[in-house]
Structure 1
Amino acid sequence: MTLQTASSSTSLAPANPWALVPPLGNLDAYISAVNRLPLLTADEEQTFARRLKEDNDVDAAGRLVLSHLRLVVSISRQYLGYGLPHGDLIQEGNVGLMKAVKRFDPDQGVRLVSYAMHWIKAEIHEYILKNWRMVKVATTKAQRKLFFNLRSMKQGFKADAALDDAATHRDTLSDHEIDMVAEQLNVKREEVIEMETRLSGGDVLLDPAPSDDGEQAFGPIAYLSDASHEPTAMIEHEQRDRLASDGIATALEGLDDRSRRIVEERWLKVNDDGSGGMTLHELAAVYGVSAERIRQIEVAAMKKMKKALAEYA
């Protein structure tokens, strides 16, 4: 079907403009069909845009979208190097095109093709960033700029250094090249290094699926799990803290003054130099008894405290 230019606005669009692209079986057929769709002249584009803006005419919006589907196909080809399905790239680009048509103002004096390119690329960029890896690799403006420019710039550096075998086969950027990228893209040097590291890495499953023989494969989940936040471990840790503070204080209260001081001086005090408390002989000199007697008092006090702690727990 071809577009017939007419003076009246009613003749500009068929009853169902979406019928211009019939149901298709594959991507090649779709691309062939959209490339045969007629382009709109500037006057026709203005007429449809005003009908959409002033009357919310869906058929006019359809003609604006259909006449620019080939633009989406052309732009989407620029992003095939990211390994994502071409059909998905086109689909996301079409979403951007429809957003552009909805926001297009015919009074701005620009063609829709110039306005729509930004929206088409924005939707494709967002799709690539969300789906290129399991973990999103770029979130800030500087990271996005690096993601979509770093690979092409690295290829340019390799082409310029084609006569240098070492540089040609080197996969990482040199310090001078990192500085050049940072200057050209107006980003920090550290951001260039970080993005190059992200792009060179791959995805690793935290919990790999079992192998063909039924054995569970070893994955990072085995050593990345934080056992300290496991409920049972948290309860045990809380109990140990309570015993180390309130429990010991309660057990010490059950001792006589001499036994309590011996335990405190032997086990609960630390000197300024980091050494332990008083020795048996030092305590023996304080109380005027033998070191063996101090040891016997200590053993008896520790048994009594152990029983008190068990009751407290």
Structure 2
Amino acid sequence: MEQTNVSMALVPQGSIEAYIQSVNQIEMLSAEREKELATRLFEDGDLTAARELVMSHLRFVAHVAKNYSGYGLPTADLIQEGNVGLMKAVKRFDPNVGVRLVSFAVHWIKAEIHEYVLRNWRVVKIATTKAQRKLFFNLRKSKKRLGWFKSEEVDMVAQELGVTAKDVLEMESRMAAQDQAFDLSADDEEREGQFAPVHYLEDKSSDVAEYVEKENWEVNAANRLRSALATLDERSTHIVQRRWLDEDKATLQELADQYQVSAERIRQLEKNAMKKLKSAMA
């Protein structure tokens, strides 16, 4: 049953939003736990440890895959290819090097996604929807000669196929477009002003390491706050919750009316509770 759940997590099915929400709920690993699991896998070939390492990093694959959504490829396929890269990274990860797994794995994840984009970009750009594919094949049959359609021919084809003239012109343009090399040749690289898809495929504004660091900090801060709140008495906890944590925050007077004390007394209780929280979290 566990193996089935792992397989389903590695291959997104159904709603992408539901999948991302699901993998975001998987607990992140501390540095100590990650190294323990990686050591078990590296030294003993422990597949259970490998499975936990992979599952805990699926959220980062989804994060990286989002940066390639502009190529018309299904997000589920991008994530699936990224998951393949993650598994390859986990297999090759050496815990003795002294880096976190995510920093090592991001290169493997991107490499697999890049390879997938290269294999599928041209085909998908021609026709991405069922309607476009139908128009593509019908337009090829209707095109009797080389060269571009004349205005009256565009209107005639559009009427025959039951589409707009704009759809015909757009598909004709796609059909006439030439394949472009993903990377520049050695000669092209020496020329100024030469660009290729490799230059803008990756979203440079996204720093996975920074994202991971921020995520770890937020989780750690939330855990420390939860532990600190547990040291307070019930009334102080409720006052802090209502004054600082609830979306609809209460006023001092509202709490004073609830506890039948003065607003100044509530302020004193709040101040003392905050001092205790700061001390506990420090």
Would you call these one fold, judging by a TM-score over 0.5?
no
TM-score using structure 2 length: 0.44
Return the structure number with greater helix share: 2
Could you tell me the TM-score, scaled by structure 1's length?
A: 0.40
Higher relative contact order (CA 8 A, sep 6+): 2
